[in-house]
Amino acid sequence: MPRRCRLIASALLALTTAASASDNLLVNAEFEIPGAFGPIVEHTGYTFLGESAADEWYVFHNTEGTTVTSLEPSTINPGGMMMRVKTTGTSNGIEQVLGAFDTGPACVKTGVWVYVESGAILTGAGNGGQTAADTFLTTTGEWVFVSAQNTLCPVNLFIIYAASPGGAIFYVDGAVVEKLDCIGPPGDFNQDGFVNAADLSILLGSWGVCRGCDADLNHDGVVAGADLAILLANWGC
């Protein structure tokens, strides 16, 4: 990375970190603290595989594969550490649990600095095993701050996963999950604080191609079954 870009990236990281440090629901968000098995940890298998190279960050596989995590000197935050994640399977990556299932804020903003070496990644937040792909990153070879508001609620889990066939190689640093003040969770279209039948009728009334409309919860330009599934998952949140 050119020196100027690196300086700007460092300044941005410092700003995002300073602004959010006190409100960050994540711990070890800067990947400074090695885990019990660190600083290089290899997991092979399926489902929950244990702690990564970084304390409080865990490796989870949705497909069979191998993931190697390692803490290395950060290239975006000089003097600090970042984590390298190399995974051979799609939908495999790292996650942090923020609280118990069915607990946590209805609305959050998530963000993390990511440098993808190969493949593509997604980030998401949600309730236990039910997380949405809130961001997709296909840019390789540069640091990018990926940020989104949650789709599923309540939020007690934050994930950073490979979204490409065959896995991905990526670096992460400076992650944040911040509670947002909201009247109601995603799907509360009429803003009465709850997701219920009134919101369902709004969604059904928007059914079909509907670019930019509120009921398009997954932002794919169509109000369809995927949006209905999100609304039903957030029912009563």
Residue in this structure with the two tokens 């009247």, named with its chain if needed: 183
CB closer to Ca ion, 30 vs 199:
199
Residue nearest to Ca ion (CB): 188
Min separation Cβ 205 and Ca ion, Å: 14
Residues that bind Ca ion (CB under 5 A): 188, 190, 192, 194, 199, 216, 218, 220, 222, 227
Q: How far is the CB of 184 from Ca ion (least distance, A)?
A: 5
Distance, in Å, from the CA atom of 188 to the CA atom of 208, rounded to the nearest integer, reads: 19
Least distance to Ca ion, CB of residue 148, Å: 15
User: Closer CB to Ca ion, residue 100 or residue 204?
Assistant: 204
* C-beta closer to Ca ion: residue 76 or 125: 125
Nearer of residues 30 and 216 to Ca ion, judged by Cβ: 216
User: How would you label 38-70 residue by residue, b for 16+ Cβ within 10 Å and e otherwise?
Assistant: beebebeeeeebebbbbbbbbbbbbeebbbbbb
CB of 224: closest distance to Ca ion in angstroms? 6
Give the H/E segment covering residue 70.
Answer: strand 58-73
Contacts of 140 (CB under 8 A, 6+ apart): 116, 117, 118, 119
**Tokens 């700007």 map to which residue?**
8
